[in-house]
Each structure stands twice: as structure tokens, then as C-alpha cells.
Structure 1
Amino acid sequence: MLVWLAEYLTQFESGFNVFSYLTLRAILSVLSALMLSVWLGPWLIRRLQRLQIGQTVRDDGPQSHLSKSGTPTMGGVLILAAIVVSSLLWANLENKYVLVTLFVVVGFGVIGFVDDYRKVIRKDPKGLIAKWKYFWQSVIASCAIGFLYSTSQLTAETALLVPFFKEVMPQLGILYLFLGYFVIVGTSNAVNLTDGLDGLAIMPTVMVAGALGVFAYASGNVNFAEYLRIPYLPLSGELLVVCAAIVGAGLGFLWFNTYPAMVFMGDVGSLALGATLGVIAILVRQELVLFIMGGVFVMETLSVMLQVGSYKLRGKRVFRMAPIHHHYELKGWPEPRVIVRFWILSLMFVLIGLATLKLR
């Protein structure tokens, strides 16, 4: 939005041309999202407390979590608002990649909001029925990936990049639709499963978003793309602004979500953030690298799958409790130790993912 205004004002004052620089707009996006989150956070927390929108804690979970009952939830609204506002301010809204990403942010945010609303306001412990949740996730993901496939103009936009290999870039064709669907929906639910401890999900999300911003910038710059031997995607550079907004909004939310949390993001935040990471990874053609960088999300998801599968097949549990962060809590690890160690693991995974840019 401000990009258009700056372009108009450039004809009167050349100094406004500085806003055409992508890196400057990314910095401004981080700062605006961060300041917006920190500024609105106290007001939102008070509002949620007044409306008695508090977290319900499972009786069969770790006993240390019982004290969290009643803590305001649905704070993800703050994250999404900061992301959308910062993106609208500093991104080029004529870029279809930006518009698709914002569509996914808002769409999955609405699904999460309805789920949280049913749980917290209507006191329905099941929230939005699972089949309807997956149905609407599927609808939004299919619309996004279908639009991208139908409007793709470069062969690179539908090629699969295999990490650590320079020349392995098979064309996906119609398989692009299936891969994109599973990446968006899968990442959405993976982040949702990870969001079980104070700050556990938001910090890996911030790290992965920052790294995807690096991939977006490199892919959108013809010189960097040629040097790194990755496909040149002219539209992808603008996603750096959106990734920067996620980083700023996430850090601003962490100000209130760090242990002991003053507010939880709820499904409105976790479902939307996961889906957003997924769609950005698709747009910059780094689906497999997302699998690496989101290693913590993968661990959490696999732990649930193993737990459920083992119990159904053998009648035995693999972990004391799933997702796996609860397993370590029940082993006696203090919550802050689990959180920080998972952050460290996430940083390692992200660095490995970034290394794929050069190790080819």
C-alpha cells in the first residue's frame, strides 16, 4: 500500500525511491509487526480476560499445566493482525505470491478462530468437528495451490528442488497439486501439535520464516539465483516482506507468550502460521527443505503418529505422552528446559536447511 504511495511521490521527490528497495521494506515490515504486537498485546490480553476467554487444560496431561487453566487464549489474532497489516503496508500488493499467502493466512486463521470459539465460548471440548476442520483446510489449500498451478508461467514454478543436488529438478506436473496440498495442510497441523508449551511453537516458526525469507530473496534475485544454482523466480523476492512480518509478529507475541505465558496463541494462530510456512515453502520451491528446517514440527507429528499407531496395533504406548514435548515433561524435565532445548534443535535444523543453498 505504501509502496504505491512512495512510487507516486517519487515524481516529486526522488528520495522516496528508497522505498523501492526490498531489504528496507523487509526491515520496516519486521519493525512495524513487532511494534504493533507489543503495543496491542496488553490491550488484547485484558480484553480476553474480561471476556473470560481462557485456556482449558486436560486433566490427563502433566500436572504442572493445571495452573495454566484460565490463561487467555486466541492470542493468535494478534499475530495474524500484525502480519496482515505489515504486509499490506510494505509489500507490493500486485504480486500474486503475496496475495496467495495472505489468503492462506486469513483463511486458516478463520478456521482456527471458529475452532477456538467453539472450545472457549461455547464450552465444546471438541471444538470444530475434525472432519469439518480438515474439509475447510482442504478447501482453502486446494484453492491456493490450484490458483498457483493454473497461473504458473515458468517451468521452475512447478519443479521439485531436491536438497544437496544441483541438477535434480524433476517436473511435477499434476503432482504439484497433491504435493502443495499436503505441504500446506500438513504443516498447519504440525505447528498446531507443537503448540503445547509456552513459546514452544512460535520461536521455531520465527526461525523457519526467517530462513524462508532468505530463500525468497535469493530466488527473486537473478544474480544470487545464478550463483547459488537455484531457479530464478522473479515474484518470490517480495515474499521476504511477508516473512519479515511473520518474524516481527512472532517476536512481539513471544514478549507475552514466553514462560510463564500471559497468553496462548490458540488454533487461530498455530493453524494459520503452519499453513503460511507451507505455502511460502511451495512458492520458493523449497518443500523438502521445509521438512528439514521444520524438524521440530516433524518430530512432534511423528511422535503422535507413532503413539497412536503403536497403541492401536500393540496396545502399548511408545512415549509417556504425545506429542513428544509432554513425554520429556513427564520424565521430569522442567518446562523451560524442554522449550529452550527444542529451540536449539530448531536452530540446528534451520541452519542445515540454509546450508542446502550452497552445498549442492
Structure 2
Amino acid sequence: MIVWLAELFSSHFTFLNVLTYLSVRMVLAVLTALAFSLWIGPKLIRFLQKMQIGQVVRDDGPESHFSKAGTPTMGGLMILAAITISTLLWARLDNHYVWVVLFTTVAFGTIGFMDDYLKVVRKHPDGLIARWKYFWQSVTALALAIVLMLTASSPAELTFVVPFFKEYMPYLGWLFIPLVYFTVVGSSNAVNLTDGLDGLAIMPTVMVAAAFALIAYLTSNINYAQYLYIPYIPHASELVVICGTIVGAGLGFLWFNTYPAQVFMGDVGSLALGALLGIIAILVRQEVLLFIMGGIFVIETLSVILQVGSYKMRKQRIFRMAPIHHHYEKKGWPEPRVIVRFWIITIVMVLIGLVTLKVR
């Protein structure tokens, strides 16, 4: 919106031209989302406390979590509002990728909101029934896949990029649809599983989003794209701004979510943020890099799959508790140690992912 106004009045006020620069808009998007989160955070926390919308803690979980019962949850509303408002202010709204991302935010946020609402307000122990949660996630992901396939303006938007191989980028065709489905739904649930400790999910999300901001910039620049042997996708430029909003909103939320947390994001935040990372990876054609850079999300998900599979097949557990961050808590690690070490692993994985852009 602001970039449109800047272009409209730039002939009279030439200094407004600076607001059309992508780098400037990205920085302003970060600061806007951060400022909004810091402003709305205390108000939202007081509202959640007043409405008694508090976290429900499992009886079989780590004992250190019992004190967290009643901590306000659904704080993800703060994140999603900051992302949406900042995107509408600083992104070019004539870019259809912007609306794809906003639709993903609202759709998966709504699914998460219903799950949280049923769980903490209506007191249904399991929240939204799992099959209905996956049904609506699947419907949304398939709708996104079909829209993106029908609106693709070049074959590059439907290719599969393999790190370390500079010329092996096969055209997917209809295989693009299942790729979108598994990437978006898988990423959404992976972040949701990771969101079990204070700040554990939000900081890796911020790191991966920051990396994707760089990747989106390179992908939307024909010179960099040709030099790095990655698909040139001009529409990806506005994803730089959107990734900036995720970084700003995430850091603002972390202000209140850092140990000991004043608020939890809930499924409304984790499901939406995971889906956002998934759809951004799809749009810049870097699904494998999401798998690498989001390694913590992958490890958390695999720990649950292995735990459930082992128990069903052998009646034995591999970990003391899954997801794996609870395993280390059960071993006696203090919560901050688990969190920071998982952050460090994410930094390493993000750097490895970025290096693959050059090693082709």
C-alpha cells in the first residue's frame, strides 16, 4: 500500500522514491512487524489472562512444565496480525505471490485457532479432531498447489531444484501438486511439534525466514539466479518483504515468549508459521533447502514418527519422551539448555543450506 502511495506522489516529493526500494521496504517491514508485536503483546496477554485462555499441561509430561499450566496461549494471533499488517503496508499488492502467502497465513491460522479454541476455551482435551485438522490442512494445501500450477508464468516455477547439482532441475508437471501438499502440510505440523518449549519454535522460524529472504532476493534477480544456477522467478521479489515481516513478528513474539514465557503461540501460531515457511520454500523452488535449514523441525518430527512406530511394532520406546526436546528434559537438561542448543543447531543448518547455493 505504502509503495503505491510513494509512487503516486514521488513526482512531487522525490524523497519518497526511497520507499520503493526492495531493501528499504524489507527493513521497514521488519521494524513495523517488530514494533506492532511489542505494542500489542502486553494488551493481548492481559486479554488472554482475563478470558482465562491458558495452556493445558499433560500429566505425563516433564515435571518442570507443571508450573506452566494456565500461562496464556494463542499468542500466535500477535504474530499473524503483525505479519499481515506489515505485509499489506510494505509489499506490492499487485504481486500474486503476496496474496498466496496471505491466504496461507489466514487459512492455517484459522485451523490452528479452531484447535486452540476447542482445547482451551471449550475444554475439549484433544481440540480439533485430528482427522478434521488434517482434512482442512489438505484442502488448503491442494488448493494452493492447483492455483500455483495454473498461474505459473514460466516452466521455472514448476521445476525441482536439487542442491549441489547446477543443471539437474527436472520439470515436475502434475507432480508439483503432491510436492506442494507434502511440503506445506509437513512443514506446518513439524513446526507445531517443535513448539513445546519457550522460544524453541519461534527462533528457528526466524532464522529460516531470514535465510529465505536472502534466497528470495537472489531468485528474483536474473543476474544472481543465472550465476548461482537457480530458477529465475521475478515474482519472488516481494517474498523478501514477507520474510522480513516474519523475522520482525517473530522477534517481537520472542520478547514475551523467552524463558520463562509470558505467553505461548498455540496452534494458531505454529501451524500458520510452518505453512508459511513451506509455501515460501515452494515459491522460491527450494523445498530441499527448507528440509536442510529447518533440520530441527525435521528431527522433532522424525522423533515422534520413530517413537510411535517403535511402540506399535515392538511395544518399546526409543526416547524417554517424544518429541525429542522432551527426551532431553527427561534426562535432566534444564529447559534453557535444550532451547539454546537447538538454536545453535539451527544456525549451523541454515549456514549449510546457504552454502549449497554456491556449491553447485
TM-score range, shorter chain: over 0.9
Give the Cα–Cα distance (whole angstroms) in 2 for the partners of residues 147 and 231 of structure 1: 19
Post-superposition offset of 1:181: 0.6
Whether 2:347 is the aligned partner of 1:347: answer yes
Give the Cα–Cα distance (whole angstroms) in 2 for the partners of residues 340 and 137 of structure 1: 31
Give the Cα–Cα distance (whole angstroms) in 2 for the partners of residues 225 and 311 of structure 1: 47
Give the Cα–Cα distance (whole angstroms) in 2 for the partners of residues 222 and 167 of structure 1: 16
Query: Match for 1:185: what amino acid?
Result: V
Partner of 2:225: 225
Partner of 1:164: 164
* Counterpart secondary structure, 1:174: helix
Partner of 1:138: 138
Whether 2:182 is the aligned partner of 1:173: answer no
Deviations along 1:104-135, one digit per CA (max 9) or x if unpaired, are: 00100000000000001000011001111011
Partner of 2:214: 214
Identity of aligned residues (%): 68
Query: Match for 1:318: what amino acid?
Result: I
Query: Match for 1:276: what amino acid?
Result: L
Query: Match for 2:116: what amino acid?
Result: D
Partner of 1:315: 315
Post-superposition offset of 1:11: 2.2
Residues 82-231 of structure 1: pairs in structure 2 closer than 5 A: 82-231=82-231
Deviations along 1:1-27, one digit per CA (max 9) or x if unpaired, are: 111111101122222111111000000
Post-superposition offset of 1:214: 0.7
Give the Cα–Cα distance (whole angstroms) in 2 for the partners of residues 105 and 142 of structure 1: 15
Deviations along 1:69-123, one digit per CA (max 9) or x if unpaired, are: 0000000000000000000000001101111011000100000000000001000
Query: Match for 1:281: what amino acid?
Result: A
Give the Cα–Cα distance (whole angstroms) in 2 for the partners of residues 245 and 206 of structure 1: 10
Give the number of equivalent residue pairs. Answer: 360
Query: Match for 2:133: what amino acid?
Result: K
Deviations along 1:24-50, one digit per CA (max 9) or x if unpaired, are: 000000000000001110111001000
Consecutive unaligned residues of structure 2, counting only runs of 5 or more, are none
Give the Cα–Cα distance (whole angstroms) in 2 for the partners of residues 87 and 196 of structure 1: 28
* Counterpart secondary structure, 2:263: coil
Give the Cα–Cα distance (whole angstroms) in 2 for the partners of residues 359 and 152 of structure 1: 28
Give the Cα–Cα distance (whole angstroms) in 2 for the partners of residues 119 and 319 of structure 1: 27
TM superposition score normalised by structure 2: 0.99
Name whichever of 134-143 and 53-62 sits farther off: 134-143
Give the Cα–Cα distance (whole angstroms) in 1 for the partners of residues 81 and 313 of structure 2: 44
Query: Match for 1:188: what amino acid?
Result: S
Give the Cα–Cα distance (whole angstroms) in 2 for the partners of residues 195 and 176 of structure 1: 29
Deviations along 1:277-307, one digit per CA (max 9) or x if unpaired, are: 0000000000011000000000000000000
Give the Cα–Cα distance (whole angstroms) in 2 for the partners of residues 75 and 277 of structure 1: 19
Whether 2:50 is the aligned partner of 1:45: answer no
Post-superposition offset of 1:222: 1.3
Give the Cα–Cα distance (whole angstroms) in 1 for the partners of residues 79 and 147 of structure 2: 26
Name whichever of 137-146 and 193-202 sits farther off: 137-146
Give the Cα–Cα distance (whole angstroms) in 2 for the partners of residues 302 and 198 of structure 1: 21
Post-superposition offset of 1:145: 1.3
Whether 2:80 is the aligned partner of 1:80: answer yes
Whether 2:249 is the aligned partner of 1:249: answer yes
Partner of 1:62: 62
Consecutive unaligned residues of structure 1, counting only runs of 5 or more, are none
RMSD: 0.6
Query: Match for 2:159: what amino acid?
Result: A
Partner of 2:14: 14
* Counterpart secondary structure, 2:358: coil
Give the Cα–Cα distance (whole angstroms) in 2 for the partners of residues 160 and 254 of structure 1: 34
Query: Match for 1:217: what amino acid?
Result: Y
Give the Cα–Cα distance (whole angstroms) in 1 for the partners of residues 2 and 145 of structure 2: 28
Give the Cα–Cα distance (whole angstroms) in 1 for the partners of residues 13 and 197 of structure 2: 50
Moved over 2 A (4+): none
Give the Cα–Cα distance (whole angstroms) in 2 for the partners of residues 119 and 196 of structure 1: 16
* Counterpart secondary structure, 1:357: helix
